[in-house]
């Protein structure tokens, strides 16, 4: 009897231990990513917000009580794109999303945005409960994970390739 209960205790402890093993998070899912541009009509237009970056991303993990996507949108000019600036995404019930974009490493001229250029997207999710936040980032390139084109008139649109949607972004917890 004693032995049996000891074995049971060991089994229970073993079971508990296996439950506490770090379970990797489900990655974030980008369901939409579009970068579009109205024509650069020269010097006068280069400070106008003619470029748009729009992302729809969701979190399917248990720590989020909704799998509805958040919308992350920013408009910016050809001159001095706001690399590294933090933009808020739309509200979700479980926390706050923010995002930023960065030039590719070794960009020749980061002071001018070329439609269709490579970029890196960075996301942060801060949960409402506790001081927990998550960060994740991914690189994007036309011809790599995106496709699109510019019309003769200079209107451009690039989006994540359909076959790569949803596009997964691994997040890591940060304190
Ligand atoms: C989701 O969780 C947050 C706290 O993390 C809470 O304030 C909110 O009411 C919850 N919403 C729903 C729909 O359960
Ligand atoms: C853009 O990204 C692609 C794919 O990762 C890479 O092959 C290419 O060299 C990059 N171009 C620039 C200008 O960084
Ligand atoms: C995300 O994490 C998974 C599991 O650890 C890994 O297999 C995958 O390569 C990662 N993806 C990226 C883009 O780092």
Which pLDDT tens digit goes with each residue over 10-22?
A: 334 444 444 444 5
Residue 5's pLDDT is: 37
2 neighbors 9 (Cβ within 8 angstroms): no
Q: Report the separation in Å between the CA atom of 103 and the middle of ligand 3, taken as the mean of its atom positions.
A: 22
| Among 6-15, 82-91, 132-141, 163-172, the least confident range | 6-15
What pTM was estimated for this model as a whole? 0.85
Q: Is the CB of 118 under 6 A from ligand 2?
A: yes
Q: Is the CB of 170 under 6 A from ligand 3?
A: yes
Counting atoms of ligand 2 from 1, which one is nearest the CA of 105?
Answer: 14
Tell me which residue has its CA closest to atom 9 in ligand 3: 170
Q: Report the separation in Å between the CA atom of 27 and the middle of ligand 3, taken as the mean of its atom positions.
A: 8
Please give the average per-residue pLDDT across 51-70, as a whole number.
96
Contacts of 175 by beta carbon, 8 Å cutoff, 6+ apart:
131, 132, 133
pLDDT band at 71 (very low <50, low <70, confident <90, very high): very high
Work out whether strand 171-174 and strand 133-140 pair parallel, antiparallel, or are unpaired.
antiparallel
| C-alpha to C-alpha distances, 97 to 18, 90, 93, 104, 161, nearest whole angstrom | 32, 7, 11, 23, 24
Please give the average per-residue pLDDT across 71-99, as a whole number.
97
Residue 9's pLDDT is: 38
First to last CA, the chain: 47
Residue located via tokens 């001081």? 131
Residue 109's pLDDT is: 76
Per-residue pLDDT tens over the stretch 21-53:
455 899 999 999 999 999 999 888 889 999 999
Counting atoms of ligand 2 from 1, which one is nearest the CA of 106?
Answer: 14
CA 138 – CA 122 distance, rounded (Å): 7
Tell me which residue has its CA closest to atom 5 in ligand 1: 94
Per-residue pLDDT tens over the stretch 96-155:
999 999 998 887 778 999 999 999 999 999 999 878 999 999 999 999 999 999 999 999
């Amino acid at each position: 009897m004693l032995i049996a209960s000891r074995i049971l205790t060991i089994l229970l402890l073993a079971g508990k231990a296996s439950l506490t093993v770090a379970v990797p998070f489900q990655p974030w899912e980008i369901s939409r990513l579009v970068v579009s541009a109205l024509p650069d009509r020269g010097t006068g237009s280069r400070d106008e917000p003619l470029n748009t970056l729009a992302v729809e991303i969701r979190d399917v993990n248990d720590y989020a009580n909704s799998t509805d996507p958040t919308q992350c949108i920013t408009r910016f000019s050809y001159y001095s794109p706001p690399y590294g600036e933090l933009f808020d995404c739309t509200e979700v019930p479980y926390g706050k999303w923010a995002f930023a974009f960065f030039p590719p490493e070794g960009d020749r001229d980061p002071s001018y945005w070329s439609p269709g250029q490579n970029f890196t997207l960075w996301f942060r999710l801060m949960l409402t409960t506790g001081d927990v936040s998550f960060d994740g980032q991914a690189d994007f390139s036309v011809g790599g994970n995106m496709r699109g084109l510019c019309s003769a008139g200079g209107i451009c649109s690039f989006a994540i390739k359909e076959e790569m949607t949803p596009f997964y972004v691994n997040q890591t917890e940060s304190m």
